[in-house]
Amino acid sequence: MKNSRRKFLITSSTMLAGAGIVAGNPLTSFYYPNGKISANDQINIGVIGCNGMGWANMRAHFAMEEVNCVALCDVDQSVLDQRAKDVENIRGTKPKLYKDYRKLLEDKDIDAVIIGTPDHWHCLIAVAACEAGKDVYVEKPLANSVEECNIMVAAAKKYNRIVQVGQWQRSGRHYDQAIQFVQSGKLGQIRLVKVWAYQGWMKSVKTVADSEAPAGVDYKMWLGPAPMRPFNQNRFHFNFRWFWDYAGGLMTDWGVHEIDIALYAMNAKAPKSVMASGGKFAYPNDPSETPDTLQAVFEYENFNMLWEHAVGIDGGNYGRTEGIAFIGNNGTLVVNRGGWEVIPETNNKDRQDYFYKMDAIPNQPKTGDPLQEHARNFIDAMKSRKKEDLKCWIETGSVAAINAHMGNISYKTGRKIYWDKEKGLFLNDDEANGLLKPTYHNNWELPNI
């Protein structure tokens, strides 16, 4: 990437407005299947955490010709080698390979990073990326604690970075349609919003003995700020989600997606109180830690939100395994990844004299590819340098993550907890407040912004 392009990407929008963009070296061109992209229009991305959603996000960005994957970082050499081959097959170029994200962030050729690591790493890497002048696409949930979410928001603002959170439902066209309908007032007063994720495909995690880490895995680096424990395959790729050291279970994994849409449509942010109950009811003897069954009631101004999840069951609300239901006096709008519909209420009179309070709307199916459109939105915002252009700016992403963490905190304490939004603390509850902040281990320190 030429120097002029780099200055464009790392200069704040305020500076750009005053100084403009000046072309530097003569343009060269790179050839792609659909035409030419000039060197000054290239955006170079590094991926940190190349398995699962880290790679899915990079593939979504490959849909844009101007985006290159120039670097990969992963603690697992087998993943690193496979993704390097994938990049070469897709684009015909060889990315630089790193085992330590700090070395990748020193690479001056990189304009932005995709963070696809386990949740407990998001804060450290995102803050360091912002400090290094990189824009960031970070997987959801934003972080593994409320305090880390706040730190990450502060870092993005301090260093004036474009930071997109991977809550890609925000870029779904049918979600936008549903939200507009909810906000139109046609449903009448909405007193209850249900959000849920029933995951029938999830079976019991089989118990396996501790072992040596696989060859090529830097396990100490994988643990990072998490407590030191012997390597166990159950706590590694994918299943890390079900262990408190690294993540928050389905409450933060699926919850942030659905809670995000619910709160956005209802124009709500902080709850007044949260009460959660559940446990390991489906698979009580498997080694996972987070609840496989959970209900949480969030109280906001003028409405409640009910979150629920269950593994091993597909029979969710309204016949859907996941979704959001806005329950109003006139009707209920139900939306999920497949589409949205409106189910009208009746006047509840006798059978001969009932009528519907509004027209039913049959299922309006999903259109487009929300993940690709979310990636496109990130790149467009990088170019405009306006965080307002982002579908899920970091502060937006923090709202859903913080609410989800509150649900887990109520579950852990076993009681209803009350939130003071002015102080950013729970009322008269030292135990709950102690769970807002993480404890870092292994000589890693929580960033100070």
pTM of this prediction exceeds 0.75: yes
State the pLDDT at residue 356: 84
State the pLDDT at residue 346: 87
State the pLDDT at residue 16: 32
- Domain edges within the chain: 3-169+374-394, 171-366+398-434
For the chain, list residues with pLDDT below 50. 1-36
State the pLDDT at residue 9: 43
State the pLDDT at residue 351: 63
| β-strands 96-98, 35-38 pairing | unpaired
State the pLDDT at residue 352: 64
Kind plus residue range of the DSSP H or E element containing 298: strand 293-300
Using CA atoms in the order 390, 86, 127, 162, what is the torsion angle rounded to 10 degrees? -20
Task: Return d(Cα 157, Cα 349) in angstroms, integer.
Answer: 55
Closest CA to 322 of 302, 299, 339: 339
* 373 touches 58 (CB < 8 A): no
171-366+398-434 belongs to CATH 3.30.360.10: yes
State the pLDDT at residue 220: 98
Closest CA to 257 of 98, 428, 55, 400: 400
Q: What is the pLDDT of residues 293-319, one digit of tens each?
A: 999 999 999 999 999 999 999 989 999
CA angle, 211 then 214 then 216, to 5°: 150
Tokens at 60, concatenated = 């979504």
Strand order in the sheet with 67-73: 96-98, 67-73, 43-48, 112-115, 135-138, 163-165
Fold of the domain spanning 3-169+374-394: Rossmann fold (3.40.50)
State the pLDDT at residue 22: 28
Would you give the distance in Å from CA 203 to the centre of its chain?
24
